[in-house]
Structure 1
Amino acid sequence: MGDLIVLPGQGRKLVTKAQEVTFKAGEAQGSDVSIFEVVVPPGFDTGAHFHEQSQEFFYILEGELELLAFEPTERTGDDWLGWESVDGERVVRAGAGSSMFVPPDTPHAFRNATDEPVRMLFQCYPSPEHEHYFEEIAEIWSTGRAVDAEAVQRMRSRYDVKQITPMRFAPPSEQSSGAAVDS
């Protein structure tokens, strides 16, 4: 357990075109919580989803994200951006210093609608569920080909990710040409 102190820039990294994840603490350190630093590229949208067992915490360090963490009056279509709760909650645009806690069974999503990367701290309980998830999705993203949406769905179902709307990644350079990757 010699890696209990992790300095800036340190930690095991997974880097793909769709994300950069740095493992800060988790199963290897004996933690019940997995903690990551995540760089969310422009155009990345997790899609609305929920977890039956996991709970998550997101803290924006730099940049701005659109956030959702509520049950909508109706889970409509392929897009969560217009959802509203019974109490009138809507998607929030949140900047540095903002956080989002997500209990089990709560629909949630985030999207980077800016043209700058966003850096956030992400915690998930229980460990190591999301550690293995990030490893496997990095492998899928790194193929260099169009992402196989069915492969992503099979993988997500193994990790307690119940997808409601599609995950999307369309970097600004590809948005103008109409190219997008749905998964």
Structure 2
Amino acid sequence: MVDGLIIPPGQGRKFVTRAQEVTFKITGAHARAGSVFEVVVPPGFDVGAHVHSRSEEMFYVLDGELEVLAFEPERRTPDDWRDWRAADGRRPVRAGAGSCMFVPPGCPHAFSNRTESPTRMLFQSAPPPDHERYFEELLEIFDSGGTVDADAVLRLREKYDIDQITPLRYGEPVPAAGS
């Protein structure tokens, strides 16, 4: 007989740093299909546009709002993905509670919290456990004190199949495009 797993609200393995909060809900120790995390995205956080060659991801906004992107732009610019446009005219969009974004391998994607309030999202990544290890190591960098070592973050992202296109940023909220 095989039992399932029920994770009550507020439960799971939680990592809280000055820049991010991540709660591991389902990990590679539990499932072969993927890892599931609850992530609190603080105001001013921008994951930066990036692409994975092997991983696929799903993001579901629980509370708050994110600006999101999941397409190949006509032209990749290295500074800011918020001005990107797809050949068919698509642009980054604001995603509120209930919005879902799926990202297959090879698809550039990004999210940022341009509001003054934290946003909560459910994040699923496959295959496990790469994103679990990545989050653990990234949160250690964020929590090391002082300024974040951008080179350490870049090396970490390369280690875990993350080809960074625009910079990861965090700090004060940045006005949304067109504001």
Matched, 1:138 2:139: yes
Kept in 2: contact 1:39–1:120 (CA 8 A): yes
Kept in 2: contact 1:54–1:125 (CA 8 A): yes
**Which secondary structure state, in structure 2, belongs to the residue aligned with residue 29 of structure 1?**
coil
What residue number does 2:15 align with?
14
TM-score of the superposed pair, with normalisation by structure 2 = 0.93
**Which secondary structure state, in structure 1, belongs to the residue aligned with residue 81 of structure 2?**
coil
Q: Which runs of 5+ in 1 are unaligned?
A: 176-183
Kept in 2: contact 1:60–1:121 (CA 8 A): yes
Runs of 4+ aligned residues of structure 1 deviating over 4 Å after TM superposition are none
1:144-169 CA deviation, whole Å, 9 max, x = no partner?
11111111111110100000000000
Give the total of aligned pairs.
173
Q: Once structures 1 and 2 are overlaid, which stretch shifts more, 78-87 or 27-36? A: 27-36
- Residue 14 (structure 1) shift: 0.8
Identity of aligned residues (%): 61
What residue number does 2:129 align with?
128
Distance in 2, matches of 1:121 and 1:30, equals: 16
Distance in 2, matches of 1:8 and 1:31, equals: 23
Q: Which runs of 5+ in 2 are unaligned?
A: 175-179
Kept in 2: contact 1:25–1:31 (CA 8 A): no
- Residue 76 (structure 1) shift: 1.2
- Residue 2 (structure 1) shift: 8.1
Matched, 1:61 2:32: no
Change (3 A) 1:23 1:3: farther
TM-score of the superposed pair, with normalisation by structure 1 = 0.91
Matched, 1:154 2:155: yes
Distance in 1, matches of 2:137 and 2:74, equals: 33
